[in-house]
Amino acid sequence: MDRRHHQAAAGRAQRGVTLVESLIVLAVAAVALGAAIPGFESARERRHLEGAAAQLETDLHFARSLAAAHHEALRVSFSRDAAGSGYVVHQGSARHCRALAGGAADCNGPARVVRVVHFAPGETVALQANVNSILFDPLKGTSTPTGTLRVIGRSGAALHQVVNLMGRVRSCTPTPTLFGYPRC
């Protein structure tokens, strides 16, 4: 009887998970998580890139429609320096305004600021433009000059917003890994 009681007690003690089994499960989970993290970071960067490009496109359309609605020329000025990159939607002449860190604008002369977007140097995306500014004419509905605005991620992936003479914006990418966008 003593023996059966001892075997029953030993059987009950074996029901839990041992320390070695727990460590094996943790090691397998750590390896799986380590393999998945680069994919998460890539997806995160893509979402930031697409979000910034969509916001830029929206602000360009907004500037064009606001210029026509208020019968006043509006300009989108682009800036890039050691403090980061960004753009300002404003009224006034070229180089009157530039985007500053914290979402503020540095304007000289009579300029009315409509919107400011700034990307700090350490952020996920940066902005490059092949023009200093784009002017939206309220009477003709055109934009001068035409331009290509590049939203670039840390990995080098990029989305381009190409603004034509009529102020229309077309998105494309030179990056083969950004599926869903036409190639530039």
Nearest-angstrom CA–CA distance, 57 and 147: 12
Q: What residues contact residue 9 under an 8 Å CB cut-off, 6+ apart?
A: none
Q: What does DSSP assign to residue 164? A: -
- CB contact burial 39-72 (16+ within 10 A = b; e otherwise): eeeeeebbebbbebbeebbebbebbbebbbeeee
96: phi then psi, degrees, rounded to nearest 5? -75, -30
Q: Which of 37, 77, 81 is nearest to 60 (CA)?
A: 77
Cβ-based neighbour number of residue 153 at 10 Å:
22
Q: What pLDDT sits at residue 30?
A: 76
The three-class DSSP label of residue 158 is strand
Instruction: Decide: pTM greater than 0.85.
Output: no
Please, what are the domains in the chain?
Answer: 19-172 (3.55.40.10)
Q: What pLDDT sits at residue 8?
A: 54
What pLDDT tens digit does each residue of the chain (184 aa) get?
555 555 555 555 567 778 888 888 888 877 777 776 666 778 888 899 999 999 999 999 999 999 999 999 999 999 988 888 999 999 987 777 888 777 788 888 777 889 999 998 888 899 999 999 999 999 988 999 999 999 999 989 999 999 999 999 999 999 887 888 999 8
Length of the chain: 184
Give the DSSP letter string of 87-150. Answer: EEEEESSTTSEEEEGGGEEEE-SS-EEEEEEEE-TTSSEEEEESSSEEEEPTTT--EES-EEEE
Token output for 132: 């200093």
Q: What pLDDT sits at residue 143?
A: 93
Q: What pLDDT sits at residue 60?
A: 96
Q: Are 85 and 79 in contact (CB under 8 A)?
A: yes
